[in-house]
Chain A
Amino acid sequence: MPALKGRSPRRSRQDRRRVIPFAPVPAHRMWWVFLILCFGLTGLVGRMAWLQVFQAPELEARARSLQTHRTKPLGTRRSIVDRTGRLVALDEERFRLWAHPRYFNFPGDDPGLIRKPVDVARKLSGVLALPMAELVDRLGDRASGVKLAEGMDPETAANIRQMGISGLDLEAYPQRVYPQGSLFANVVGFLNQDREPQAGMEQSRHQDLLRHEQARSLRRGADGTPLPDDLAPGTFYGDDLKLQLTLDARLQELAVNALAAQVKEWKAKKGVAIVMDVTNGELLALASTPTYDPNTYWKFPPARFREWSVQDLYEPGSTFKPINLAVALQEGVIEPEGKVNDTGSLQVGGWPISNHDRKGNGVIDYPTVLQVSSNVAMVKTMRHLDPSVYWDWLSRLGIDATPDTDLPGAVAGQLKSKEQFVAQPIEPATAAFGQGFSLTPLKLAQLHAVIANGGRLVSPHITRGLRAGEALAPPRAPMSGQQLLRPDVTRIVRGWMESVVDQGSGKGAKTPGYRIGGKTGTAQKALNGIYLSGAKICSFVANLPVDNPRFVVVVVVDEPKGEHAYGSTVAVPVAKQIIDGLLVLEKIPPSKNNETQLESANG
């Protein structure tokens, strides 16, 4: 170590002129420098301790809240698809565009620069297809939180996102869309602006339609890359389940069009057409008119939002006669080959009862009873059945019970009490030709399915269940339902119904090559127990093919106006169009081979 001397000597003016002696740099000054550096380092240790020990929890919490992206459930709903997978209702992603002018900055700009609203409006007006002036007007001089656009489709949103403009915020939200328009409105219902279900299945199956969503909290990089640590199990689970209907959009459309045309022609109040698979209760069509467009539901009277075919009761009239005959056969009170004397009119308990044309048909067999739809013959036939047993049958068929169905708002029919039914002879007499009690068109379809499927009471339904991805439900559910009537009884009644189409009032539904059974009905409308004159309900029920029935078609038209408004003139043409479509869509082979060949040979 060289000898280190103290401070450099003070110099005077005279010192400068002479040679100044060599003065070693003082060692203590080195120490000063070192101590200054140490002072700085110690200060930093203190600062670090403050930041990383005392302030650490607060800073870390702030950092995590910045790094963690939380997604709230948007309340998306599952799609609804028809029998073949066509979309009936779906959620589409829409975007709201929010602007925060105090953060306006283009990519490549100096980070401190704040762009003027005009610059942003110029860039956006092309993409949004809005005039620039309007955008500038909307932005005004507000600092943030300006809603620029709503209902933007994902492509536009992607275009805007690609621009990378700071201070623009895209908020995604789901919107319920019904691509089939009014076609399924009566069944599916709709969501209002606040996405609350208001009608139909959207309301009745609300819980099933809610998609499984969870609030997700995900740590990620500033570019959005998710980080896999600290993730709760199932964070990325999402479902793509769909609710599948049994309805067929093609048949539904055909039915709606046919029905709407007929209702318009006859100036009727409303109409319904139901096509049901009798083997399992699936409804292939449930068309109702008038209806509404769920995409613009606010333009329609709220009365249309309820599906009357399952909620409104009516007296079925003549269409109930085959069911009565089946009950009588089942109880053994009539013989299949038996005959009954139709006198044209009779008195029951002081009340006059007559046929619709007030003419007698003489001694006729049961097929003829159905063909001419004789009220008198039906009353005489059903007299053989003890009223108490008869009432038990009506009750067993579920007239006064709420049908087991998934259709929203289905109601029970009305039936007189057993005491009244047994005590008043007029009650079983009117019930014999389908008056004096009421049911829904859906219930009538279910009861005719009993005849068609060999005696089983199947549950009418319109949903097949939730299906994942593109998969569809198996085409046919296993045979189900409670056995009420013997198959041989139903086969006999089906034969009688076939004769109605072949020779009787259902002739309009005749289709070459196919065996079709049916029964028309023209019932009087009752309000508070009093029959309204001139107010009729025209209906037609068909089952096909008769040898191995698969479908029941029910058409009911409420209050058609005109002289010749009967089931055969109002309801049968609609049913005929539906049957034609059904035969093609379901690829039902003709069964009357010989006759077809004969007809083609003749023609």
Chain B
Amino acid sequence: MHRDAVSKELPFWQQRLPLPWAYWPAEARLLLSMTAIWCLAGLLVLGSASWWVATREMGDGGYYIKRQLVWMAASWSLMGLALSTNLRRWLKLAGPGLLIGCMLVAATLVIGSTVNGASRWLVIGPLQIQPSELVKPFVVLQAANLFAHWHRISTDQKFLWLSSFGALLLLILKQPNLSTAALTGILLWLMALAAGVRLRSLISTAMAGGLLGTASILINEYQRMRVVSFLDPWQDPQGSGYQLVQSLLAIGSGGLLGEGFGLSTQKLQYLPIQSTDFIYAVFAEEFGFVGSLMLLLFLMLVAFLGLRVALQCQTNQSRLVAIGCTTILVGQAILNVAVASGSIPTTGLPLPMISYGGNSLLSSLFIAGLLIRCSLESTGLVGQRSGRQRRQSIG
């Protein structure tokens, strides 16, 4: 209604918005601007981290940046789609999306391309698809479906979806990708916590998850080595502790104020995988403790805005989607920084919006779009009700 009424007077850039900018809640405006800032800063950090390596290995300093820009455009389009599509539709798609995601993750185990002993990618033509990344938004949505009316849905429904989540976690663990599995598990647990599931079952689930993680570490040689080297990376700085030692050296040489943008030395091929998993180390070396503090405060602000969006949502589903999106974005960033700084013993997580990688970007910006959509729908001007009204007026 509003849209039709005001669309002719609106400037061009607002005509495509699902809700006129003037009606956007402050949280949604802030989240959109902060996502844009996050992405731009991410491109700058990625440019600094990848230029040297790209020059050496690809012969073109802009190799990674150019591809990231293309992915960025696609991801922002996807975010636009997430923003302008009714949340109910996304929630309906969540179940099938999750099941397809499970199957694709299973497919990586069979026909996936293997890098450093982990098969995470499906190669389709020029595209490399990482199903464990792309499935994340659907995990959030389906978890919202499941937990929104936890006490009202039937046991077989609960069993079906909980076992789907369990299967997904096991498949991701099998890849092996302990960090994504851990992130997904933590996400589900936190969403259950947010949904008001009984603390007793939450604590027992957490213990079971902890046991599962421990078992995985004990069974898998490669994970055990990671944990051992995490405990004392300096024991074998040339071998298993190499990545962590290089990351710590980068972070430490940043000092209080940092070396300055572009002036990291550790990124000059000392630091491994410096444009994805350890991009935070490059950032910390260039911007120092001040920069790290700013990034962490920024993440805290994102979390706070997410919380406010969740509190304002009118339905249980959208409330859980909002808190779930916030958790996965901030939680993934926390895990990434924790890994880079040697606080927890896993690797293999991208830093949202900053690390190089199209799958991660698509997934992260889609999630950010869902979060903003929740905020928009909390106004009551778009979404469920307006959709129904429109259908009525059309019908």
Which residue of A2, A29, A67, A221 is within 8 Å of B196 (Cβ)? A29
A130 at the interface (CB under 8 A from B): no
Q: List 14 A-B contacts (CB under 8 A).
A: A8-B151, A19-B152, A22-B149, A22-B152, A33-B194, A37-B327, A38-B300, A48-B251, A49-B289, A52-B288, A59-B251, A59-B252, A63-B265, A221-B52
Binds A, one of B9-17, B19-27, B314-322: B314-322
A63 to B255, CA, bound (A): 12
CB within 8 A of A23: which of B52, B196, B307, B334?
B196
Digitize B249-275: 1 where CB-to-A-CB distance is under 8 Å, 0 elsewhere.
111111110000000011011100000
B334, A41: Cβ atoms under 8 Å?
yes
The 8 A-B residue pairs with the shortest CB-CB distance in the complex, in nearest-first order: A59-B252, A221-B268, A222-B269, A52-B289, A63-B249, A60-B253, A34-B307, A48-B292
Scoring B116, B195, B326 by chain A CB atoms within 10 A of each residue's CB, the highest score goes to B195
Does A64 interact with chain B (Cβ within 8 Å)?
Answer: yes
Answer whether A52 and B256 are a contact pair too, CB < 8 Å, given A20-B151, A37-B327, A222-B270.
yes
The smallest beta-carbon distance between A21 and chain B, in angstroms, is 8
B-chain residues with CB within 8 Å of residue A43 when the two chains form the complex: 343
B312 to chain A, nearest CB (A): 6
- Cβ-defined contact, A48 with B341, below 8 A: yes
Contacts of B152 in A (CB 8 A): 19-20, 22-23
Question: B2 an interface residue at 8 Å Cβ cutoff?
Answer: no
Task: Give the residues in chain A near B69, CB-CB below 8 Å.
Answer: none
Would you list which residues of chain B between 205 and 222 have a CB under 8 Å from chain A? Answer: none
Max chain A C-beta neighbours (<10 A), residue from B151, B193, B284, B338: B151
Residue-wise interface mask of B (208-248) relative to A, using a CB-CB cutoff of 8 A (1 in contact, 0 not): 00000000000000000100000000000011101000001
Q: How far is the CB of A143 from chain B (nearest CB, A)?
A: 13
Q: Closest CB of chain B to A287's CB: distance in Å?
A: 57
Q: When the two chains form their complex, are residues A41 and B299 in contact, meaning their CB atoms are under 8 A apart?
A: yes
Structural contact, B151 and A48, CB atoms closer than 8 A: no
Complex Cα distance, B320 from A311, in Å, reads: 102
Q: Is B37 interfacial (CB-CB < 8 Å)?
A: no
Chain A 17-52 near chain B by CB (<8 Å), digits 1 or 0 = 001101111110111111011101101110111011
A111: chain B residues within 8 A (beta carbon): 239, 242
Cα A26 to Cα B311 in complex, Å, equals 9
Across the two chains, which residue of chain B brings its CB closest to A9?
Answer: B151
B340 to chain A, nearest CB (A): 10
Chain A window 427-460, contacts with chain B (Cβ cutoff 8 Å), 1 for yes, 0 for no: 0000000000000000000000000000000000
Q: How far is the CA of A67 from the CA of B254 in the complex (A)?
A: 14
* Given contact pairs A36-B190, A40-B334, A219-B265, a sample of 19 additional A-B residue pairs in the complex whose CB atoms are under 8 Å apart: A2-B314, A8-B151, A23-B151, A30-B323, A33-B327, A34-B307, A37-B300, A37-B303, A38-B303, A41-B334, A47-B338, A47-B341, A48-B284, A48-B292, A48-B341, A63-B265, A63-B266, A223-B269, A227-B268
Which residue on chain B has the smallest CB distance to residue A30? B310
Please name the residue on chain B nearest to A43 by beta carbon: B343
Contact of B256 among A20, A22, A53 (CB under 8 A): A53
For A56, what are the chain B residues with a Cβ–Cβ distance below 8 Å? Answer: 252-256, 289
Judge whether A396 is part of the interface by a CB distance below 8 angstroms. no
B151–A52 contact, CB under 8 A? Answer: no
Q: Within 8 Å CB of A59, what residues of B?
A: 248-249, 251-253
B117 touches A (CB below 8 Å): yes
Q: Is A235 part of the contact surface with B, judged by Cβ < 8 Å?
A: no
Q: Which residues of A contact B238 (CB under 8 A)?
A: 103
| Interface residue? A55 (CB, 8 A) | yes
Interface residue A72 (Cβ < 8 Å from any Cβ of B):
no
The answer for the CA separation of A132 and B320 in the assembled complex, in Å, is 67
Q: Specify which chain B residues have a CB less than 8 angstroms from the CB of A22 in the assembled complex.
A: 149, 152
A-side binding surface: helix, strand, loop or mixed? helix
* Contact among B251, B306, B314 with A52 in the assembled complex (CB-CB below 8 Å): B251
Shortest C-beta distance, B37 to chain A (Å), equals 18
Q: Tell whether A227 pairs with B265 under 8 Å between CB atoms, given A48-B341, A63-B253.
A: yes
A592 within 8 A of B: no
Question: Contact mask A112-142 → B, CB, 8 Å, 1/0?
Answer: 1000000000000000000000000000000
Which residues on A sit within 8 Å (CB–CB) of B296? 41, 44-45, 48
Determine whether A419 belongs to the interface, using a CB cutoff of 8 Å to chain B. no
Report B-chain residues with C-beta under 8 Å of the C-beta of A33: 190, 193-194, 307, 323, 326-327
Max chain B C-beta neighbours (<10 A), residue from A22, A36, A44, A52: A52
Whether the pair A40, B331 counts as a contact (CB closer than 8 A) is yes
Please report the C-alpha to C-alpha distance between residue A22 and residue B195 in the assembled complex, in whole angstroms: 13
A48's nearest neighbour on chain B, judged by CB, is B292
A7 touches B196 (CB 8 A): yes
B148 at the interface (CB under 8 A from A): yes
Residues of A within 8 A of B (CB): 1-2, 4, 7-8, 11, 19-20, 22-27, 29-34, 36-38, 40-41, 43-45, 47-49, 51-53, 55-60, 62-64, 66-67, 103, 110-112, 219-223, 225, 227
The one of B148, B248, B293, B311 in contact with A51, judged by C-beta atoms closer than 8 angstroms, is B248
CA distance A112 to B310 in the complex (A): 46
B289: chain A residues within 8 A (beta carbon):
48-49, 52-53, 56
**Bound CA span A403–B300, Å:** 88
Chain B residue at minimal CB-CB distance from A39: B334
**B225 touches which of A7, A57, A112, A219 (Cβ 8 Å):** A112
Q: How far is the CB of A459 from chain B (nearest CB, A)?
A: 57
A53 to B338, CA, bound (A): 17
Closest to A64 in B: B253
Question: Is A223 a contact partner of B265 (Cβ separation < 8 A)?
Answer: no
Q: Counting CB contacts under 8 A, is B370 at the interface?
A: no
Q: Which residues of B contact A112 (CB under 8 A)?
A: 225, 239-240
Render B12-46 as a binary contact track against A, CB cut-off 8 A, 1 for contact. 00000000000000000000000000000000000
- Closest CB-CB distance, B343 to chain A, in whole Å? 5
* Residues of A contacting B250 in the complex (Cβ-Cβ under 8 angstroms): 63
The reply to whether A45 and B56 contact each other, CB–CB distance below 8 Å, is no
Would you call B307 and A30 a contact (CB within 8 A)? yes
Q: How far is the CA of A58 from the CA of B193 in the complex (A)?
A: 42
Please tell me if the beta carbons of A32 and B193 are within 8 angstroms of each other in the complex: yes
Report if A225-B268 is in contact (Cβ < 8 Å); known contacts: A30-B323, A34-B307: yes
- A30 & B311 in contact (Cβ 8 Å cutoff): yes
Nearest-neighbour CB distance to chain A for B395, whole angstroms, equals 27
Contacts of B316 in A (CB 8 A): 24-25
Q: Which residue of A lies closest to B52 (CB)?
A: A221
With both chains docked as a complex, state the minimum distance between the C-beta of B64 and any C-beta of chain A, in angstroms: 17
Question: Would A34 and B268 be within 8 Å (CB), given that A44-B338, A48-B251, A48-B296 are in contact?
Answer: no
Q: Is the CB of A37 within 8 A of B331?
A: yes
Least CB separation from B116: chain A residue: A110
Q: How far is the CA of A27 from the CA of B309 in the complex (A)?
A: 12
Which one of A24, A49, A103 has the highest number of Cβ atoms from chain B below 10 Å of its Cβ?
A: A24
Please, which residues of chain A bring their CB within 8 A of the CB of B337?
44
Known: A30-B311, A52-B251, A58-B252. A223 touches B194 (CB 8 A): no
Which residues does chain B contribute within 8 Å of A2, judged by CB atoms? 314
* CA distance in complex: A22, B322 (Å): 19
Q: Which chain A residue lies CB-closest to B254?
A: A52
Q: In this complex, what residue of A is CB-closest to B57?
A: A223
A182 to chain B, nearest CB (A): 49
Q: How distant is the Cα of A283 from the Cα of B26 in the complex, in angstroms? A: 96
Residues of B within 8 A of A47 (CB): 338, 341, 343
Q: How far is the CA of A41 from the CA of B304 in the complex (A)?
A: 12
- Across-interface contacts of B52 in A (CB, < 8 A): 221
Task: Collect the chain A residues with CB atoms within 8 Å of residue B194's CB.
Answer: 25, 29-30, 32-33
B330 CB–A CB distance under 8 Å: yes
Taking a contact as CB atoms under 8 Å apart, the answer to whether B151 and A29 are in contact is no
Q: Which single member of B117, B225, B334 contacts A37 (CB below 8 Å)?
A: B334
What residues of chain A lie closer than 8 Å to B252, measured between beta carbons? Answer: 51-52, 55-56, 58-60, 62-63
B319: nearest residue on chain A (CB-CB)? Answer: A25
A16: shortest Cβ distance to chain B, in Å? 9
Nearest-Cβ distance from residue A587 to partner chain B, whole angstroms: 57
Interfacial chain B residues near A52, Cβ < 8 Å: 251-252, 254-256, 284, 288-289, 292
B residues near A11, Cβ cutoff 8 Å? 151
